[in-house]
């Protein structure tokens, strides 16, 4: 893999009056990455994307795209980037085709056949002549992806592209992202507030909270580095304890509010389930957990804990 | 740039709001002209009341030209409102609809986008003024015929029939100049707000306040009056003076031109530096 990042933010910061929306953010996205940019709502994801795409000017720091400073090479670099920023808004009184013609004209070199092609890719060819105001949210989201791909960019920046979609729509977008990466070799920068979504498509990720970088690295590595445990809800408790002590090797456990918290590898779950069933124990739930998930959930639910408190990798 | 302007015009003219002004003109001009055909001679009698005992007025003084002349008085307030509908929406409309996020992430400079929008605004203003001219003069002549033009400015001036057409041409060029000033001010206000109503209200507010300062006879305002664009909203009337003098246009053309330049430069500075948060 190339060592020269396709996208880099260096000490990137944005302050609105007294509040820092983004503070000292250092991200590095390599060519070919599907890079997950994860954070709870209001963490600074969209502000970061707006700074990358030159909608918002950084208070401090800089953005580099394709090795050059965006601030100095805006026209050259933006021609190689396509993106959706937050919800997909269009000229509602115009058709999808007309919207794409206007946006294509701003990019230059976008042919009518390319417009047809991207509309087909996102499944909007049949409704291409309808005014966008008649589109559902999902259709607008797909049109948003179409406009991002219109000029065949090398880097695609997608800000919460599955937001508001039904499960089928979410699945289609995920498949499209993987297709863009695997079949077309595009680099994808994907922001989301759902760890699960990032886990399904991204190879690298960063977590941001309150404008600051929490962690950055390979998805697999980040997810495996942290503590792994299983939550077991089963009755009767005494019988469960006996089974856990009898296992080879015995499974260390403690009681938590959620049930038994078992310190074990996920690979032992089937054997444990069988042992519990054989003992006639009633199983309500067996939930594999990783500390990164716990940590991320805690970010989205309440005050920010420190990484050391949550046991997440740093 | 031509491509950018073309698509700005496509966006502008595919929007219903754009036609609101044309529709109002299309309704109001025929309505007024028909009403004047019915009872407009009273207006001419009123203008000539003081002179009828001493002079005979011969020829057709009540004709299409005088109706078109009377309609040009809508350039004081009414046409500016209609111009600001579109000019005020040019930049703010993109913020309202969230489409800045689409167009400003493309490899086009903000200055390029800005200029294309301003040029589209000017073209709309030109088209609007031309539409008003053609409809008011064309329909006026069709309904009431031609003749001399009675001009009620600082006394009464009667212009011969063959001395009128070019004066209307010049008057509408000057009207376009004044309306460009209004459009530029609306464009300025449009650059720093995120809804289109604000620029319309702000533009009209500015025009009304300045007009009050111009017309209210207080010495306190004497030093600033010559520098206010509203002082010259009757610039077009200079085309109907005799003899026609280019010198009489200088101050108005200069002050309104400078107002336009300052407004557009101000809008440009704001636009290229603003964070797009919509």
pLDDT tens across A234-282, in order? 989 899 999 999 888 899 998 888 889 998 888 889 999 999 999 899 9
List chain A residues with CB under 8 Å of B15.
93
In this structure, are residues B104 and A55 in contact, taking their beta carbons and an 8 Å threshold?
Answer: yes
Note whether A209 and A231 are same-domain residues: no
Of A187, A219, A251, which closes a domain? Answer: A219
Would A312 be classed as within a structural domain?
no
pLDDT tier at B52, thresholds 50, 70, 90:
low
- Interstrand relation of A81-84 and A155-159 (parallel, antiparallel or unpaired): parallel
Across A215-226, b (16+ Cβ under 10 Å) vs e yields bbeebeebbebb
Look at residue A176 in the predicted model and tell me its pLDDT. 87
Note whether A101 and A238 are same-domain residues: no
Alpha helices in chain A (DSSP H): 45-52, 74-78, 96-107, 112-121, 137-149, 167-182, 195-201, 219-225, 237-246, 269-278, 291-301, 307-310
DSSP element (H, E) containing B178:
helix B165-191
Interface touch A103/B15, C-beta < 8 Å: no
Look at residue B54 in the predicted model and tell me its pLDDT. 64
Interface touch A93/B14, C-beta < 8 Å: yes
Q: What is the mean pLDDT of residues B165-184?
A: 94
Q: How far is B170 from chain A (nearest CA, A)?
A: 37
Look at residue A308 in the predicted model and tell me its pLDDT. 37
Question: Does A81 contact B at CB distance below 8 Å?
Answer: yes
CA distance B92 to A222: 44
Alpha helices in B52-164 (DSSP H): 64-71, 78-87, 89-97, 100-103, 110-144
What CATH number is associated with residue A75?
A: 3.40.50.300
CA distance A167 to A175: 12
Look at residue B258 in the predicted model and tell me its pLDDT. 97
Note whether A209 and A121 are same-domain residues: yes
Look-up of token digits 């699945």: A171
DSSP element (H, E) containing B45:
helix B41-47
Look at residue B190 in the predicted model and tell me its pLDDT. 92
Look at residue A62 in the predicted model and tell me its pLDDT. 94
Q: At residue A310, does pLDDT exceed 50?
A: no
Look at residue B135 in the predicted model and tell me its pLDDT. 93
Look at residue A299 in the predicted model and tell me its pLDDT. 61
Of B3, B16, B276, which is closest to A55 when you measure between CB atoms? B276
Look at residue A283 in the predicted model and tell me its pLDDT. 92
Which has more confidence, A52 or B97?
A: A52
Of A165, A200, A219, which closes a domain? Answer: A219
Would A81 be classed as within a structural domain?
yes
Burial (Cβ within 10 Å: 0-12, 13-18, ≥19) of residue A265: exposed
Q: Which domain holds residue A236?
A: 225-297
Residues 8-27 of B with CB under 8 A from A: 10-11, 14-16
Q: At residue A309, does pLDDT exceed 70?
A: no
Look-up of token digits 């403690």: A254
Q: In total, how many domains does chain A have?
A: 2
Closest residue, chain A, to B100 (C-alpha) = A55
Note whether A17 and A64 are same-domain residues: yes
CA distance B136 to A292: 73
β-bridge partners, A34: A188
Mean pLDDT of chain B: 87
The total number of residues shown for chain A amounts to 314
What CATH number is associated with residue A241?
A: 3.30.70
- Cα four-point dihedral sign A62, A65, A68, A73: negative
Note whether A97 and A165 are same-domain residues: yes
Would A70 be classed as within a structural domain?
yes
Closest residue, chain B, to A83 (C-alpha) = B105
Note whether A68 and A211 are same-domain residues: yes
Look-up of token digits 């309904």: B143
The CB-based long-range contact list for B110-114 (8 Å cut-off, 24+ gap) reads: B110/B271, B110/B272, B111/B268, B111/B272, B112/B1, B112/B4, B113/B4, B114/B267, B114/B268, B114/B271, B114/B272
DSSP element (H, E) containing A208:
strand A204-209
In this structure, are residues A94 and A56 in contact, taking their beta carbons and an 8 Å threshold?
Answer: no
pLDDT tier at B50, thresholds 50, 70, 90:
low
Of A173, A203, A219, which closes a domain? Answer: A219
Number of H helices, E strands in chain A: 12, 14
CA distance A9 to A13: 9
> What percent of chain A has pLDDT above 90?
40
Look at residue A215 in the predicted model and tell me its pLDDT. 83
Note whether A182 and A203 are same-domain residues: yes
DSSP element (H, E) containing B204:
helix B197-215
Interface touch B14/A98, C-beta < 8 Å: yes
Would A304 be classed as within a structural domain?
no
Note whether A66 and A198 are same-domain residues: yes
Q: Which of A290, A288, A265, A260 is nearest to A276 (CA)?
A: A260
Look at residue B58 in the predicted model and tell me its pLDDT. 61
CA dihedral B100, B105, B107, B111 (to 10 degrees): 40
Note whether A117 and A245 are same-domain residues: no
Q: Which of A127, A131, A132, A128 is nearest to A114 (CA)?
A: A128
CA dihedral B112, B117, B122, B124 (to 10 degrees): 140
* Helix, strand, coil distribution of chain B in percent, nearest 5: 75, 0, 25
Of B7, B14, B109, which is closest to A75 when you measure between CB atoms? B109
Q: At residue A12, does pLDDT exceed 80?
A: yes
Closest residue, chain B, to A48 (C-alpha) = B277
Interface touch A106/B99, C-beta < 8 Å: no
β-bridge partners, A288: A230
Q: At residue B141, does pLDDT exceed 80?
A: yes
pLDDT tens across A45-58, in order? 999 999 999 999 99
Mean pLDDT of chain A: 86
Disruptive mutation site among A91, A151, A156, A189 for chain B (greatest number of B CBs within 10 Å): A91
Q: At residue B57, does pLDDT exceed 70?
A: no
Note whether A178 and A272 are same-domain residues: no
Note whether A213 and A250 are same-domain residues: no
Would A302 be classed as within a structural domain?
no
Q: What is the mean pLDDT of residues B208-231?
A: 89
Q: What is the mean pLDDT of residues B153-165?
A: 80
pLDDT tier at A312, thresholds 50, 70, 90:
very low
CA distance B203 to B190: 10
Closest residue, chain B, to A151 (C-alpha) = B106
CA distance B148 to B136: 17
Interface touch A53/B105, C-beta < 8 Å: yes
Note whether A120 and A245 are same-domain residues: no
pLDDT tens across A54-94, in order? 999 999 999 999 988 988 888 889 989 999 998 889 999 99
- Interstrand relation of A19-29 and A34-38 (parallel, antiparallel or unpaired): unpaired
Look at residue B20 in the predicted model and tell me its pLDDT. 87
Q: What is the mean pLDDT of residues A180-202?
A: 88
Which has more confidence, A283 or B73?
A: A283
Interface touch A93/B16, C-beta < 8 Å: yes
pLDDT tens across A106-120, in order? 888 889 999 999 999
pLDDT tier at A222, thresholds 50, 70, 90:
confident
pLDDT tens across A123-152, in order? 888 888 999 999 888 888 889 999 999 999
Would A308 be classed as within a structural domain?
no
Q: At residue A101, does pLDDT exceed 80?
A: yes
3-state secondary structure of A109: coil
Q: At residue B193, does pLDDT exceed 80?
A: yes
Q: At residue A306, does pLDDT exceed 50?
A: no
pLDDT tens across A163-184, in order? 878 888 888 888 888 888 888 8
Radius of gyration from C-alpha coordinates of chain B = 21
Would A12 be classed as within a structural domain?
yes
CA distance A159 to A143: 14
pLDDT tier at A217, thresholds 50, 70, 90:
confident
Disruptive mutation site among A13, A89, A110 for chain B (greatest number of B CBs within 10 Å): A89
Would A1 be classed as within a structural domain?
no
């Amino acid at each position: 893999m190339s060592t020269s990042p396709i996208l880099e933010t260096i000490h990137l910061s944005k302050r609105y009056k007294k509040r820092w929306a983004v503070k000292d953010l250092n991200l590095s996205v390599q060519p070919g990455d599907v890079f997950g940019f994860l954070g709870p709502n209001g963490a600074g994801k969209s502000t970061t994307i707006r700074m990358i795409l030159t909608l918002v000017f950084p208070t401090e720091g800089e953005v580099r795209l394709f090795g050059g400073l965006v601030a100095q090479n805006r026209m050259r670099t933006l021609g190689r980037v396509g993106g959706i920023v937050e919800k997909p808004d269009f000229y509602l009184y115009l058709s999808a085709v007309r919207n794409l013609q206007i946006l294509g004209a701003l990019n230059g070199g976008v042919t009518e056949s390319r417009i047809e092609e991207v509309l087909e890719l996102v499944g909007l060819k049949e409704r291409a002549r309808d005014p966008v105001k008649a589109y559902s949210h999902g259709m607008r989201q797909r049109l948003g992806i179409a406009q991002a791909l219109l000029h065949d960019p090398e880097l695609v920046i997608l800000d919460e592209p599955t937001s508001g979609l039904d499960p089928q729509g979410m699945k289609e977008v995920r498949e499209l992202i993987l297709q863009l990466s695997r079949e077309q070799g595009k680099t994808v920068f994907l922001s989301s507030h759902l760890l699960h979504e990032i886990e399904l498509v991204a190879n690298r990720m960063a977590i941001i909270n309150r404008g600051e970088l929490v962690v950055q690295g390979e998805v697999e590595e980040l997810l495996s580095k942290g503590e792994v445990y299983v939550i077991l809800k089963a009755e009767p408790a005494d019988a469960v304890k006996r089974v856990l002590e009898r296992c080879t090797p015995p499974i260390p456990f403690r009681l938590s509010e959620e049930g038994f918290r078992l310190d074990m590898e996920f690979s032992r779950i089937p054997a444990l389930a069988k042992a519990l069933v054989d003992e006639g124990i009633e199983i309500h739930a067996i939930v594999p957990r990783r500390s990164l998930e716990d940590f991320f959930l805690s970010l989205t639910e309440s005050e920010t804990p420190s990484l050391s408190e949550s046991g997440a990798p740093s | 740039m031509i491509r950018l302007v073309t698509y700005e015009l496509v966006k502008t003219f595919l929007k219903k709001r754009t036609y609101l002004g044309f529709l109002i003109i299309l309704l109001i001009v025929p309505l007024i002209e028909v009403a004047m055909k019915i009872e407009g001679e009273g207006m001419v009698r009123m203008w000539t009341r003081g002179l009828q005992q001493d002079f005979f007025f011969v020829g057709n003084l009540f004709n299409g030209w005088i109706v078109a002349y009377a309609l040009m008085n809508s350039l004081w307030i009414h046409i500016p409102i209609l111009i600001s509908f579109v000019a005020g929406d040019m930049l703010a409309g993109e913020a309202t609809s969230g489409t800045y996020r689409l167009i400003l992430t493309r490899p086009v400079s903000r200055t390029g986008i800005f200029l294309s929008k301003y040029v589209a605004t000017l073209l709309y203003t030109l088209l609007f003024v031309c539409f008003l001219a053609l409809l008011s003069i064309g329909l006026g002549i069709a309904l009431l015929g031609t003749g001399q033009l009675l001009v009620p400015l600082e006394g009464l001036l009667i212009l011969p029939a063959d001395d009128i057409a070019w004066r209307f041409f010049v008057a509408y060029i000057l009207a376009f100049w004044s309306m460009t000033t209004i459009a530029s001010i609306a464009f300025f206000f449009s650059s720093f707000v995120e809804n289109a109503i604000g620029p319309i209200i702000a533009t009209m507010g500015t025009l009304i306040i300045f007009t009050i300062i111009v017309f209210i006879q207080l010495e306190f305002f004497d030093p600033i009056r010559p520098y206010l664009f509203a002082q010259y909203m009757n610039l077009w009337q200079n085309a109907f003076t005799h003899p026609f003098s280019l010198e009489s246009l200088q101050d108005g053309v200069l002050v309104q031109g400078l107002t336009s330049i300052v407004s557009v430069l101000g809008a440009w500075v704001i636009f290229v530096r603003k964070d797009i948060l919509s």
